Amino acid sequence: MAHLTFHGVLPTGHRELGDAKGPGGSGVFDMFFENIDLPGVVDLPALIVLATKEVDLDKNFITVNPPETITRMGFDEARETESFVWRILPNPSETWILQMHQIPAGRLKPKGNVLGIHTRNDKGEQARVRDDFAIARVFLVYSTSE
């Protein structure tokens, strides 16, 4: 019997990404939530649910268990990897909107998952001026067979 499970990845607050958002204004372009353990066997598709605001561009994206080289990949190259989930949908307003994206079956593992949120410029490249936006209320929704 399968069980529907919710897992909070970002327990409280929100995170800002983009130019001048990091310590000392250095910028946070690729944010990783690491060591996400999911009890049970996750063998069906899952959902990532998150709230976003101030997303101006359409080539920011989400990954699950990406390769270490993902920080050097543009949107088009990342899209060809198995870790690519989907792009973060534009929402240029200051109002939080809810987004849900499907994670294909077999991408999540019981222990040590990594969720990546990646900012890119208008061409989808990891070049100088990247999109600035905020994320909050990040959850994984999945079904387990145990």
User: What pLDDT digit, counting tens, does each position of 78-133 carry?
Assistant: 999 999 999 999 999 999 999 999 999 999 988 999 999 999 999 999 877 889 99
**Total of domains in the chain:** 1
- Which residues constitute the domain of residue 58? 15-144
Note the pLDDT of residue 41.
74
Residue 9, domain member (yes or no) = no
Note the pLDDT of residue 143.
83
Output DSSP code: residue 23.
Answer: G
At residue 61, does pLDDT exceed 80? yes
125 contacts 9 by C-beta, under 8 angstroms: no
Distance, in Å, from the CA atom of 43 to the CA atom of 51, rounded to the nearest integer, reads 25
Choice among 7-21, 25-39, 53-67 with the minimum mean pLDDT:
7-21
CATH number, domain containing residue 26:
2.60.120
Residue 3, domain member (yes or no) = no
Proportion of the chain above pLDDT 90, given as a percent: 62
Distance, in Å, from the CA atom of 70 to the CA atom of 3, rounded to the nearest integer, reads 32
At residue 64, does pLDDT exceed 80? yes
Note the pLDDT of residue 1.
40
The per-residue DSSP string of 56-107 comes to --S--EEEES--GGGGG--HHHHHTSTTEEEEPPPB-SSS-EEEEEEEPTTS
Q: Which of 44, 47, 45 is nearest to 62 (CA)?
A: 47
Proportion of the chain above pLDDT 70, given as a percent: 86
